[in-house]
Amino acid sequence: MGTSLGTVVITGAAGRVGSAVRVGLRGEAERLVLVDRVGLAAQSPAEEVRQFDLRDAEAVTAALEGADAVVHLGGVPDEAPLPDLLDGNVRGTHNVLESARRQGVGRVVLASSNRLTGFYPVSENVTPEMPPRPDGLYGVSKVAVEALGRLYADKFGLSVVCLRIGSFEDAPTERRHLATWLSPRDCLGFVHAALTAPGIRFTTVYGVSANTRRFWDIEAGSALGYTPVDDAEVFASRIPPEGNWADSSDLQGGAYANAEYTLRHI
């Protein structure tokens, strides 16, 4: 595809999704700026490493200088005390968006989450336009992340894509993944499309593979010009049954929606 992406900043570049995106964009971007709290080593002449916390607004602004796009994956990745989530996810995202505004970045891709709608029953096909029903405090923080993206698009004219990332795994490992799996190939496809789709002011898309049992709408992804290709169903025979999970009365968040999952953080 050639080096058509210019300079792309990846926050959370040491994480599982960040590591995959880093490799996938290495041949697409002229320059990759890799940001994380942990140390990283450049693996090609096109890579530049920055080690700092996203709560450091000045460091974020400096990292985004000259950037054409930013893929914001950094933050607290799971349920945690609300102050930690507000600090790591909401404040960190605000610093990224504000720095993007100041530096004139052309496109911001925000990592949202399927957990933002985890309290919908598995019987419903959920679209990005439906009201949030987070399955925990982590999901609440992602509601705020998307709201910040919407604000910066509406008020300041940033081009923002929110990707509600599914269960990113090399292959499904549990029953719920048959609905929620996001394959590495489809993950890169969504990210590349989110970086290159023309005419986007603001949009939200579920980043999920074309799973037969999915309960999230993938038609909205047409706005990005990407259609997922993998299906978790090919792994179904390898995954042991888990009671009657995915009964019509069950919640899309599965165990994440259990009260105990959040109470231990309060």
Residue 248 has pLDDT above 60, yes or no: no
| pLDDT, position 1 | 38
CA 53 to chain centre: 18
Alpha-carbon gap, residue 216 to 5, rounded angstroms:
29
pLDDT of residue 243: 56
CA 248 to chain centroid: 27
> pLDDT at residue 194 above 60?
yes
pLDDT of the residue at 247:
60
Cβ contact 74:145 at 8 Å: no
Check if the beta carbon of residue 206 is closer than 8 Å to that of residue 223: no
CA distance 87 to 99: 17
What is the reported pLDDT for 14?
98
**138, 152, 206, 256: which one is catalytic?**
138
| 256 in active site | no
The pTM (predicted TM-score) of the whole model is 0.95
Q: Supply the pLDDT for residue 63.
A: 98
- Going from N- to C-terminal start, the domains of the chain cover 7-263
> Is residue 140 classed as helix, strand or coil in its secondary structure?
helix
Nearest Cα neighbor of 14 from 46, 45, 54 is 54
Residue 65 has pLDDT above 90, yes or no: yes
Q: What residues form DSSP beta bridges with 142? A: none
83 pLDDT more than 60: yes
Report domain 7-263's class: alpha beta
pLDDT value at residue 144: 98
